[in-house]
Amino acid sequence: MTPNDEPGAVVSDADLPSAAPRLDTGWTIRWIRLSADVLAANRAALNTLDRDIGDGDHGENMDRGFQAILPKLDGLDDETTPGSVLKIVATTLISTVGGAAGPLYGTAFLKAAGAVGTTQSLDATALVALLTAARDGIVLRGKAAEGDKTMVDAWTPAVNAASAAQTAGSPVGAVLLAAADAAAQGAQATEPLVARKGRASYLGERAIGHRDPGSQSTSLLLRAAADVMAQH
């Protein structure tokens, strides 16, 4: 029997299995690696969504971009910060993914990198800043408003939910979960909409009843972020 097994023994925080998650460089790298896995697994499903209301390549585009990031995450040095990982993601997506999604996600990750600066570990405020900057970058680049049936319809509810959770004093883990849940709901809520931006806008009312593929990939990315946090 060790001293800690004695009744009434004091257990330090470090002994608890559910010590508060840290959104540090390791988390950022694991997030992007899991995102690459999830996008590969959802490649066909995202292509199918894009075939319904676009040109059928969204899964292919996202998979190609994230696979190109993976080798760049190997052997990073000790100086690497969450922001520098996000910057690698941005530049790789911009250079390898064509179409609408490459520049949009590239800008999102670039602005997110700028928002977190040289922070080593994101607290709730930094996480909200990351999400807000990503969404603002997409809006700056693509000029879509909420309700236009684009990825903005997943990002904006995620930003709003994260911001509300942070304002209410929630820890960073709860803020990230709120963002992932809201993005999933936002993606689903694109189904009844008519598209006003991107290829789907050419379809008019025929886009009704189909989920926007970019909103779905956003939901997958934010769910991966939350899942990685929950694993560690």
Binding site for ligand ADP (CB under 6 A): 50, 54-55, 57-58, 61, 99-101, 104, 138, 142-144, 150-152, 197-199, 212-215
Q: What is the 3-state secondary structure of 127-185?
A: HHHHHHHHHHHHHHHHCCCCCCCCCHHHHHHHHHHHHHHHHCCCCHHHHHHHHHHHHHH
> Which of 25, 31, 57, 83 contacts Mg ion by CB under 5 A?
57
Q: Which own/partner pairs from 92-99 qualify as long-range (CB within 8 Å, at least 24 positions apart)?
A: 92/65, 92/68, 93/65, 93/69, 96/64, 96/65, 96/68, 97/61, 97/62, 97/64, 97/65, 98/61, 99/57, 99/58, 99/61
Q: From the list Mg ion, ligand ADP, none, pick the one residue 101 interacts with, judged by a Cβ distance below 5 to 8 Å according to partner type.
A: ligand ADP
DSSP-based three-state secondary structure for 85 = helix
55 near Mg ion, judged by CB under 5 A: yes
Closer residue to ligand ADP (CB): 152 or 177:
152
Closer residue to ligand ADP (CB): 197 or 223:
197
The residue with tokens 């930094």 is 126
Min dist. Cβ of residue 127 to Mg ion (A)? 29
Min dist. Cβ of residue 197 to ligand ADP (A)? 4
Closest residue by beta carbon to ligand ADP: 214
Burial of 107 (0-12, 13-18, 19+ CB in 10 A): buried
Closer residue to Mg ion (CB): 57 or 212:
57
Min dist. Cβ of residue 26 to Mg ion (A)? 33
> Which of 31, 50, 150, 197 contacts Mg ion by CB under 5 A?
50
Q: From the list ligand ADP, Mg ion, none, pick the one residue 115 interacts with, judged by a Cβ distance below 5 to 8 Å according to partner type.
A: none
Min dist. Cβ of residue 102 to Mg ion (A)? 11
Min dist. Cβ of residue 182 to ligand ADP (A)? 16
Q: How far apart are the first and last CA of the chain?
A: 28
Q: Distance between alpha carbon 56 and the CA centroid of its chain, in Å? A: 22
Region 79-138 residues binding Mg ion, contact defined as CB under 5 A: none
Q: From the list ligand ADP, Mg ion, none, pick the one residue 39 interacts with, judged by a Cβ distance below 5 to 8 Å according to partner type.
A: none
* Site of interaction with Mg ion (CB under 5 A): 50, 54-55, 57-58
